Amino acid sequence: MIIIDEERASDSPFVERIWRSHSEGERAFLSIAVNHCEFVVSRHQGKVTMTLRGPETKATPIGNAPAEGEWVGILLKLGTFLPHLPTSRLVDDGVDLTTASSNSFWLGGSNFQFPDYGHADIFVARLVREGLLRRSPVIEAALQGQLTDLTQRAVQYRFLQATGITQSTARQIERARYATFLLQQGVSILDTIEQAGYYDQPHLTRSLGRFIGQTPAQLLHHSRPEQLSFLYKTTLFP
């Protein structure tokens, strides 16, 4: 079972959330859809790995989480990307970065120490300084409905280039994650439909089946054995 030890927001405009966790024993794990890219430092059986994960557009069972592992995650804000590694190549996938030593790895031709929970923001700041991490201002403005000087086609193109997914998919994923959080907090299915903006229960059920991998009732009653990947309180896009 993976236990989230700490999680927090960040002052960096490039970072959505920072978290750290560890595992005790083994339990089936279900990776749910997410819009964002994410750096994850994994420590298991004396080996340290830095993985860059891309957006996930569907729920994916990944078997049992390894016992006695430790992780630090840096969840990037939607629209944050690495110029030398197109996000489209990372959708529903990820890449392990090349290890340089027992405490460092290579990224974009530079050597970086594996960041810990307390130094994640320093790591991100260096990436930004060296031009290895950028953020598209179009993305947030598009989600807020504030773009007036670009055609819809141009917005969709820039959104796809920066995030690897369409604006419609991003909204659907965020709504499914929001509904999941409500159900896990004990909000009724009918109230979840209303608060998350679904048409009816079949619409909610289809969405959760695709993006979360469980039904509304299963989420409400915690009746499935799988543990869901990291989920935090969020708000819907306008």
What is the per-residue pLDDT across 20-49, written as a single tens digit (0 to 9) for each? Answer: 999 988 889 999 999 999 999 999 988 999
For residue 124, the Cα-to-chain-centroid distance in whole angstroms is 16
Q: What percent of the chain has pLDDT over 70?
A: 99
**Ranges of each domain in the chain:** 2-135
Torsion angle of C-alpha atoms 216, 6, 54, 14, degrees rounded to 10: 120
Residue 215 has pLDDT above 80, yes or no: yes
Contact of 137 with 143, CB cutoff 8 Å: no
Residue-wise pLDDT for 90-131, tens only, equals: 999 999 999 999 999 999 999 999 999 999 999 999 999 999
Residue 80 has pLDDT above 80, yes or no: yes
Rounded (5°) CA angle 143-235-77: 55
Q: Which of 33-47, 136-150, 155-169, 221-235 has the lowest mean pLDDT?
A: 136-150
Mean pLDDT for the stretch of residues 209-219: 97
Residue 163 has pLDDT above 90, yes or no: yes
> E strands, the chain, where?
2-8, 15-23, 28-31, 38-44, 47-53, 60-64, 70-76, 80-81, 94-96, 99-101, 104-107, 110-113, 134-135, 227-228
